């Protein structure tokens, strides 16, 4: 029979550990770390995607500003040269690529400003691309910058105006132009037909009017690029 001192000696002996619990604990910690990293990356990716979509939407919205600027340029130049018949007169600025160096007020005979635009084309070449960087390069030599630049959203807007005609630098009546179909009342807004404002040789066929294509390109933060296109007549 063992005495008390012998029993205490037996109980005090250390129990051998093989480290199995520590091994599984490290594996669990590694799995939790990987899950946390994956969650952080997922949140960051979602935030980045949302931000990119926001930049894209902002650029597309700013493109409308380019369309409006182009329409205003067309309307102002046409009004300043109202004494010329755009359908018959080759010297009308809108029948000339680039518009006109100067615009003359038909009533006062005074120069009203420089209306020339490197972004205006009196004919369209469908072989020239607007988007692949080989045709229109969207610089000062072949497009028009909309001011202020950049705008309040940090976007830079340029536009190109193309008269939808096969032949450039000729009056509409002789330039083989693309015409719209018969115009109809649109939501109560009556649009005058060409035969209502034009008479004589050179006027478009009744119910038709020549078309003009406007393309606006917007570049914004993080290399965002957006194109907006509209047809006007």
pLDDT in tens, 171-219: 887 888 877 655 555 555 555 555 565 666 656 555 456 789 999 999 9
Q: What's the domain count of the chain?
A: 1
Asked if the model's pLDDT at residue 57 lies above 70, the reply is yes
How is 19-46 classified by DSSP, letter by letter? -HHHHHHHHHHHHHHHHHHHHHHHHHHH
* Residue 101 is assigned to a structural domain of this protein: yes
Q: Residue 54 in 3-state DSSP?
A: helix
Residues 27 and 25: their CA atoms lie apart, in Å, by 5
* Residue 194 is assigned to a structural domain of this protein: yes
Residues 104 and 111: their CA atoms lie apart, in Å, by 5
pLDDT tens by residue, 65-99: 999 999 988 888 888 887 887 778 888 888 889 88
Sequence-ordered strand ranges (E) for 7-104: none
Q: Which domain holds residue 79?
A: 20-232
pLDDT: which is higher, 55 or 167: 167
* Residue 9 is assigned to a structural domain of this protein: no
* CB within 8 Å of 53: residues ≥ 6 apart: none
* Residue 82 is assigned to a structural domain of this protein: yes
Q: What is the pTM of this model?
A: 0.67
pLDDT tens by residue, 88-131: 888 888 888 988 755 555 455 555 556 678 899 999 988 888 99
Q: Which of 16-25, 27-36, 165-174 has the lowest mean pLDDT?
A: 16-25
* Residue 3 is assigned to a structural domain of this protein: no
pLDDT tens by residue, 151-166: 888 899 999 999 999 8
Residues 218 and 225: their CA atoms lie apart, in Å, by 6
pLDDT grade for 6, boundaries at 50, 70 and 90: low
* CB within 8 Å of 34: residues ≥ 6 apart: none
* Residue 13 is assigned to a structural domain of this protein: no
Q: Which of the residue ranges 7-21, 107-121, 141-155 has the most confident prediction, judged by mean pLDDT?
A: 141-155
């Amino acid at each position: 029979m063992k005495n008390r001192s012998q029993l205490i000696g037996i109980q005090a002996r250390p129990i051998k550990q093989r480290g199995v619990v520590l091994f599984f604990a490290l594996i669990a910690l590694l799995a939790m770390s990987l899950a946390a990293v994956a969650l952080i990356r997922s949140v960051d990716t979602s935030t980045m995607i949302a931000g990119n979509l926001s930049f894209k939407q902002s650029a597309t919205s700013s493109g409308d500003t380019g369309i409006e600027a182009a329409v205003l340029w067309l309307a102002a130049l046409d009004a300043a040269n109202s004494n010329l018949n755009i359908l018959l007169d080759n010297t009308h600025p809108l029948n000339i690529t680039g518009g006109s160096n100067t615009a003359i007020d038909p009533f006062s005979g005074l120069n009203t400003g420089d209306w020339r635009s490197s972004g205006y084309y009196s004919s369209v070449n469908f072989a020239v691309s607007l988007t692949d960087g080989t045709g229109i390069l969207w610089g000062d030599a072949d497009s028009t910058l909309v001011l202020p630049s950049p705008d309040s959203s940090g976007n830079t807007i340029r536009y190109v105006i193309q008269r939808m005609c096969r032949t450039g630098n000729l009056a509409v009546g002789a330039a083989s132009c693309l015409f719209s179909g018969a115009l109809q009342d649109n939501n109560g807004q009556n649009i005058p037909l060409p035969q209502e404002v034009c008479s004589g040789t050179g006027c478009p066929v009744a119910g038709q009017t020549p078309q003009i294509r406007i393309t606006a390109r917007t570049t914004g933060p993080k290399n965002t690029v957006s194109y907006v296109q509209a047809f006007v007549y």
